[in-house]
Amino acid sequence: MGSYIPNSKQETEEMLRFLGLNHVDELFESIPESVKIKGLLNLPEGKSEMELRCVMGGMAEKNTVFKTVLRGAGVYNHYIPSIVKSIVSKERFITAYTPYQPEISQGILQAIFEYQSIICELTHMDASNASVYDGASAAAEAVAMCTDRRKKVLVSETAKPDSIAAIKTYSKAAGRQVVMIPSKNGVSDIDALSENLQDAACFYVEMPNFNGIIEDYEAYSSLLHEAGAKHIMGVNPISLALLKTPDELGADIAVGEGQPLGMGMNFGGPHVGFMAAKSDMVRKLPGRIVGETTDRNGKRAYVLTLQAREQHIRREKASSNICSNQALCALTAVAYVGAMGSLGLTELARQCYYKAHYAARELEKAGLEMLYPEKPFFHEFITKAPRDTDKLMEALAQEGILGGLPMEEGILWCFTEMVSKQEIGKLCAIVRKVG
């Protein structure tokens, strides 16, 4: 229908005349005639805003929005405070470009600086970048930070499948060898880790891991550092309000998926990957970084900094080709953490922990067996499969509940602040009936 072009036909003709042209086609004479499109693309006619609303709304309506979500596995259903939505829908934040001109971009630059500070505070690391695409690509980029000399990369099989997949893709491209450390009783097999340490550049492991379990990361750190290898941890940012920080656990790099910090599930994106490191690795961080400085009058100011690492300066010698961050998602995280504060975040993490532990006990009572009953977990855990998983999932769906994720070994359940005691009761009743 429209192309958002303001000019009238008359104005366009006036402009063409000014250029000494009779027809717009004359502007495209440098394109070989033989390959030009004859006529129009084979696409439908443009739609009015009212028609578009029907078409897109129709697609949205075909998706089931579950009232209760008990599925996590990398994307978590948390409450998003109203103030967060209000802040991130501000038009300037939405439409600005990367803040290349600091004099008119202090708003975004400061927000990114605040984001970096928040990530450092959550992970207790020394420095953070301005964010990358998502948690999986953050993991892959973190591996790249460690492989200047050594090319052997150790990855725990207990990590999320998408993190592992992205690490493999990036590593294969750059000629790095990925060695998987198998899972044993739900956690990384520490004997296998010890056996593979020689010439290893780094080890990637997650907290909580894909089984929901909190592993013994300190034990890995000592082994790794003795062998001169780096310890990379993929962490859930909400859990860090309650659990030991990557710094306390001896990690050199902390990365993760920032989605729980105020972003919707969004069918998997956009979300935000965070990356933070100890001070000795700051200059190896990929992507944008904002630093504090002063203007000519000595006034505090923020600016994109340490750009000598980046592609537009270093070209083929850059540490990564990344040239954007997920600025609006990073801003969402700042607004979210601003709204929650340390007190709200801590309370949130406790509620996730308590509810998941309560649900685990109740599900056990309802007849589902925990797969790893001895292991500490945060807000996810696996139960062994019931008699008929499909039937259980269907019965739950009929009550508006998206059940846990069916996996080979059982079902991976997730409980956040969004799930009430009453809903847990309803879940258990269905499990009793069907399972």
Partner 1 sequence: MKLLFEYPDHGKTLSILPELDTPMAEIPDVIRRKSPLRLPNISENELSRHFAELESQTFGVCDGFYPLGSCTMKYNPKINDEMASLKGFTDIHPLQPVSTVQGALEMMYTLERSLCEITGMDDITLQPAAGAHGEFTGILLIKAYHEKNGDTDRTEIIVPVSAHGTNPATAAMAGYKAVNAPVRDDGCVDLEALKKLVGPKTAGLMLTNPNTVGLFEKDILEISKLIHDAGGLLYYDGANLNPVMGIVRPGDMGFDVVHLNLHKTFSTPHGGGGPGSGPVGCKKLLSEFLPVPRIVKKDGSYDFDFDKEYSIGKVRSFYGNFLVNVKALSYILTLGAKGIREAAEGSVINANYMRKSLDDLYDMAYPDICMHEFVMTLERQKKEKGVSAMDFAKTMLDYRMHPPTMYFPLCVKEALMVEPTETESKQSLDEAIAVYRKIYEDVMADPEYAAKAPHKTPITRVDEVGAARNPRLRFEF
Query: From CA 228, how far away is CA 207, in angstroms rounded?
Result: 22
Query: From CA 126, how far away is CA 144, in angstroms rounded?
Result: 19
Beta carbons of 217 and 251 less than 8 angstroms apart: yes
Q: Using the rule CB under 8 A, is 265 a contact of partner 1?
A: yes
| Stretch of 151-159, 225-233, 313-321, 381-389 lying at the interface with partner 1 (CB under 8 A) | 313-321
| Stretch of 149-157, 190-198, 286-294, 366-374 lying at the interface with partner 1 (CB under 8 A) | 286-294
- Of 191, 354, 365, 429, the one binding partner 1 (CB under 8 A) is 354
Structure tokens at 75: 């994307």
Closest CA to 216 of 195, 244, 239: 244
Structure tokens at 57: 């709304």
- Of 424, 427, 428, 430, the one binding partner 1 (CB under 8 A) is 424
User: What mask, x for binding partner 1 by CB under 8 A, covers residues 82 to 121?
Assistant: -x--xx-xxxxxxxxxxxxxxxxxxxx-xx-xx-xxx-xx
Q: Using the rule CB under 8 A, is 296 a contact of partner 1?
A: yes
Element (H, E) at 191: helix 190-195
- Of 240, 275, 333, 363, the one binding partner 1 (CB under 8 A) is 240
| Stretch of 187-195, 196-204, 235-243, 381-389 lying at the interface with partner 1 (CB under 8 A) | 235-243
In what side-by-side order are the strands of the sheet with 177-181?
Answer: 127-128, 273-277, 253-257, 230-235, 200-207, 152-156, 177-181
Q: Using the rule CB under 8 A, is 344 a contact of partner 1?
A: yes
Element (H, E) at 275: strand 273-277
The DSSP-derived string for 349-377 is HHHHHHHHHHHHHHHHHTTPPBSSTTS-B
- Of 68, 133, 204, 231, the one binding partner 1 (CB under 8 A) is 133
**Per CB under 8 A, which of residues 32..71 are in contact with partner 1?**
32, 34-37, 40-47, 49, 52-53, 55-66, 69, 71
| Stretch of 5-13, 185-193, 229-237, 381-389 lying at the interface with partner 1 (CB under 8 A) | 5-13
| Stretch of 188-196, 219-227, 347-355, 364-372 lying at the interface with partner 1 (CB under 8 A) | 347-355
Q: Using the rule CB under 8 A, is 137 a contact of partner 1?
A: yes
168 vs 227, which CB is nearer to partner 1?
Answer: 168
Size of the site for partner 1 (CB under 8 A): 201
User: What are the CA-CA distances from residue 9 to residues 14, 16, 28, 305 (Å)?
Assistant: 9, 11, 19, 46
Q: Using the rule CB under 8 A, is 320 a contact of partner 1?
A: yes
Contacts of residue 346, Cβ cutoff 8 Å, sequence gap at least 6: 241, 242
- Of 177, 190, 223, 270, the one binding partner 1 (CB under 8 A) is 270
Beta carbons of 336 and 231 less than 8 angstroms apart: no
Least CB distance to partner 1 at residue 369 (A): 18
Q: Using the rule CB under 8 A, is 421 a contact of partner 1?
A: yes
197 vs 302, which CB is nearer to partner 1?
Answer: 302
User: What mask, x for binding partner 1 by CB under 8 A, covers residues 184 to 223?
Assistant: ------------------------------x---------
Number of residues assigned to the chain: 435
Least CB distance to partner 1 at residue 202 (A): 18
- Of 322, 366, 396, 427, the one binding partner 1 (CB under 8 A) is 322
Query: From CA 272, how far away is CA 119, in angstroms rounded?
Result: 12
Least CB distance to partner 1 at residue 195 (A): 26
Given phi > 0 = left and psi -120 to 50 = alpha, else beta, which region is 291? beta
Beta carbons of 176 and 151 less than 8 angstroms apart: yes
- Of 198, 323, 365, 432, the one binding partner 1 (CB under 8 A) is 323
DSSP state of 287: S
| Stretch of 186-194, 196-204, 224-232, 259-267 lying at the interface with partner 1 (CB under 8 A) | 259-267
Structure tokens at 86: 């209000």
Query: From CA 138, how far away is CA 286, in angstroms rounded?
Result: 9
Closest CA to 84 of 350, 328, 342, 268: 328
- Of 149, 280, 297, 408, the one binding partner 1 (CB under 8 A) is 297
- Of 250, 338, 399, 426, the one binding partner 1 (CB under 8 A) is 338
- Of 158, 196, 236, 325, the one binding partner 1 (CB under 8 A) is 325
45 vs 408, which CB is nearer to partner 1?
Answer: 45
Axis crossing angle, helix 389-398 with helix 421-434, rounded to the nearest 10: 140
Query: From CA 396, how far away is CA 390, in angstroms rounded?
Result: 10
User: What mask, x for binding partner 1 by CB under 8 A, covers residues 358 to 397?
Assistant: xx----------------x----------------x---x
